[in-house]
Amino acid sequence: MTIVPHVVQGVAEVSSPSAHILVIDDEATSANTVAEIIASLGYRVTVATSWTEALRGFHAGDVDLVLMDAVMPGVDGFKLTQLLRSRTGAYVPILFLTGLADAAAREQGIAVGADDFLTKPVDIFELRVRLKAMLRIRRLTQELELQKLKLAHLAHIDGLTGISNRRTLDERLPQVLEKATRTGQCLSVLVIDVDHFKRINDTLGHAVGDQVLRFIGRLLGELTRGSDLPFRYGGEEFVILAPETNAHQGSLLAERIRKAFELRSGGATQAGAQTLSIGLASSDMFPYPLDASQMLGSADGALYRAKATGRNRVCLFDAALDARAA
């Protein structure tokens, strides 16, 4: 595989000088000639003279366009195009550089995923125009893909606290629980509620209530491990999924959160010192596997008891006491 240095001759017409083009041709002389022309237009170029080199170069990342010969020994351009398309979810334009002029060959190329054709010998003007057009499409596609990722991210994040939302909890809890059941590991579920939160909103206003919720979001991010998953469940309720955590370990985590909130909330918001009630259910507390709804319901039942018995405390699920969860 050959990397052609970035050489600009005359005035570069490239709107994105960092664009990277992969040239694939089993004839090294032909490949290098085309690569030098492309480099002179201001692009970065990598040359591959076999399909194995082409795959390595493509998977190395940051390839913005592929320019390949259609006729090559072993794996030709048609088969290689299918391989490249099958191994990436992102759109990368593919231009065939070929001496094949018949319509059937062109139709076959389009069918396997090629975007356009250039005929040999290369016309520099035509090459420049096609590259600019294909790279513009590549850039626009990347912008759309990035926007899609941002929207997907926003759809799963609570806008106020910055942690995952109820929708994400509904998706992740069954997945995390299934993994715990399959691997024989414990999973603890914590349901957290701000004590007397309605009173904060009623007396100090919703803006202050929002301060409290944002503080909880930050606190949960600080006090949980990278493997723990905090969520805003709704209103003033939060949920933490703690994989590989048994009931004892989960209770230690819950107490750490409760104490830290009581200690630090006084200086964190205009609401002053506040407290939390927390309910906990762990998979090792049950003689049989529970589904996602049962796990969450059990933790919520323990929370209900924590609120009913004085608040500002952690309660572990107890089948005899938490009939509400059943």
pLDDT in tens, 42-90: 899 999 888 888 888 887 668 999 988 877 776 777 788 888 888 777 8
CB 140 within 8 Å of CB 120? no
Say which CATH superfamily domain 166-325 falls into: Reverse transcriptase/Diguanylate cyclase domain (3.30.70.270)
CB 40 within 8 Å of CB 9? yes
Q: Phi and psi dihedrals of 30, rounded to 5?
A: -65, -45
The least confident of 127-141, 147-161, 244-258 is: 147-161
Mean pLDDT across 14-41: 83
pLDDT of 245 over the 50 cut: yes
Domain ranges of the chain: 2-155, 166-325
Using alpha carbons only, how large is the chain's radius of gyration in Å?
30
More confident residue, 13 or 317: 317
- Residue 36 bears catalytic tag: no
pLDDT for 324 equals: 55
pLDDT of 113 over the 80 cut: no
Mean pLDDT across 264-291: 94
Helix, strand, coil share of the chain (percent; to 5): 50, 20, 30
Q: Is the peptide bond before 174 cis (omega within 30 degrees of 0)?
A: no
pLDDT for 6 equals: 37
pLDDT for 17 equals: 53
pLDDT for 2 equals: 52
pLDDT of 10 over the 60 cut: no
Give the architecture-level CATH label for domain 2-155: 3-Layer(aba) Sandwich (3.40)
- β-pairing, 65-69 vs 94-98, is parallel
pLDDT for 212 equals: 96
- Give 42: exposed, middle or buried? Use CB within 10 Å, 0-12, 13-18, 19+: buried
CB 156 within 8 Å of CB 168? yes
Mean pLDDT across 84-97: 83
Given this chain, do its domains 2-155 and 166-325 carry the same CATH topology?
Answer: no
Three-class DSSP labels, 69-128: ECCCCCCCHHHHHHHHHHCCCCCCCEEEEECCCCHHHHHHHHHHCCCEEEECCCCHHHHH
Structure-token pair, residue 264:
């630090």
| Separate counts of helices (H) and strands (E) for the chain | 10, 11
CB 202 within 8 Å of CB 294? no
Which residues face 20 on adjacent strands?
Answer: 44
Which of 178, 236, 244, 255 is flagged as catalytic?
236
**Collapsed DSSP state (helix, strand, coil) of residue 199:** helix
Instruction: Show Cβ contacts of residue 231 under 8 Å, excluding neighbours closer than 6 positions.
Output: 158, 163, 164, 165, 166, 168, 169, 172, 238, 239, 240, 241
